[in-house]
Amino acid sequence: LYGPGHLKKAKKGAYGGGMGGYHRKMGLYLNFFRSGHFEMVPCYHSIKGQYRIGFFVVRFLIDIFAFVRAAFTVRPQVVHVLAQYRRAMPREFALVWLARLFGIKVVYELKAGVFVDWYKSTNSVFRGMAKYCVQKSDAVLGQGMPYVDFVKSELNQQNAFFHPNFVARPEIPEQVREKLDAASLKILFVGFAYRDKGVFEMIEGCKIASDTVPIELTMIGMEHVDFQEWMDTFDTGDRLKVHRLGRMPHDEVLKAYDRHDIY
């Protein structure tokens, strides 16, 4: 399982501080997924800001060396890549190329994000790398159905499958309190607040909806500087209250779900 390593604290400049959705998915697989058919062994790549000498070429070489070493020591039958594409595309291209060279099968997992928009707008070199990764993989997993359709129709990879996000069974509460029982509508957002996640539209939509019903919006997670600056000057009016709590421990985040009506 090829994905991000563990950080003790968030790193400035890394997506979500280096502790966002990709890190969470890595932990979910390793801590909760069990199968009698195969075992998941982690192979970690670096995160921006993790090393003092952290510019691209050094991190690229460190990550590729770690994979080659694991390939010869663990001898995996399959490499499951938690794809990040974008600036990680050269690393993922090298990873898939090496896996094919070593005769290792590849599963390329596209989490929710902006893969389709990114693919259409990126430069031809990165687009070629992404196409190679998708087409040379033995299977592609898409967290969203549009990714599956795009991979099949535009990238000619027919072994693409819908693979929705999941929640660990121990984190599902046995009981859920009554919802929509207060004067205001309580809404919760958890995640890295940046433009591609629709947080600007979410705030504006809540402002419009608050004309009908008072709204309390709670936001948990790091904020991109663009959103932070915009939000600092946004007029929420009298009927919309926004609580920006920043990053919180996972246990505290789970408790927040119970206090809100809509996630």
- The string of pLDDT tens digits covering residues 78-95 is 999 999 998 899 999 999
Helix (H) or strand (E) holding 238: none
**With pLDDT > 90 as the criterion, what percentage of the chain qualifies?**
72
Kindly report the pTM of this predicted structure: 0.82
Average pLDDT over residues 112-118: 84
List b or e across 15-40, with b for residues whose CB sees 16 or more CB atoms inside 10 angstroms. Answer: bbbbbbbbbebbbebeeeeeeeeeee
The DSSP result for 117-156, as a single string, is HHHHHS-HHHHHHHHHHHHHSSEEEESSHHHHHHHHHTS-
Residue 11: pLDDT band with limits 50, 70, 90: very low
Residue 221: the pLDDT is 92
Helix (H, G, I), strand (E, B) or coil at 245: strand
Residue 3: the pLDDT is 92
Task: State the CB neighbour count (10 A cutoff) for residue 53.
Answer: 8
Helix (H) or strand (E) holding 219: strand 215-220
**Are 49 and 18 contacting, i.e. CB atoms less than 8 angstroms apart?**
yes
Phi, psi at residue 217, to the nearest 5°?
A: -110, 125
Instruction: Put the strands of the sheet holding 215-220 in their side by side order.
Output: 185-190, 215-220, 240-246
Neighbouring-strand partners of residue 55: none
Residue 20: the pLDDT is 60
Q: How far apart are CA 14 and CA 5, in angstroms?
A: 13
Residue 16: the pLDDT is 46
Task: State the CB neighbour count (10 A cutoff) for residue 98.
Answer: 15
What is the 8-class DSSP label of residue 88?
A: G
Residue type, 97: W
Q: How far apart are CA 193 and CA 58, in angstroms?
A: 29
Whether the predicted pLDDT of 9 surpasses 70: no
HSE-up of 150 (CA within 13 Å, CB side)? 18
Rounded to 10°, the helix 199-209/225-233 angle is 20
Lowest-pLDDT range, 2-16, 27-41, 83-97?
2-16
Helix (H, G, I), strand (E, B) or coil at 246: strand
CA-based nearest residue to 59, from 18, 8, 23: 18
Q: How far apart are CA 20 and CA 47, in angstroms?
A: 11
- The string of pLDDT tens digits covering residues 182-241 is 999 999 999 989 998 899 999 999 999 999 999 999 999 999 999 999 999 999 999 999
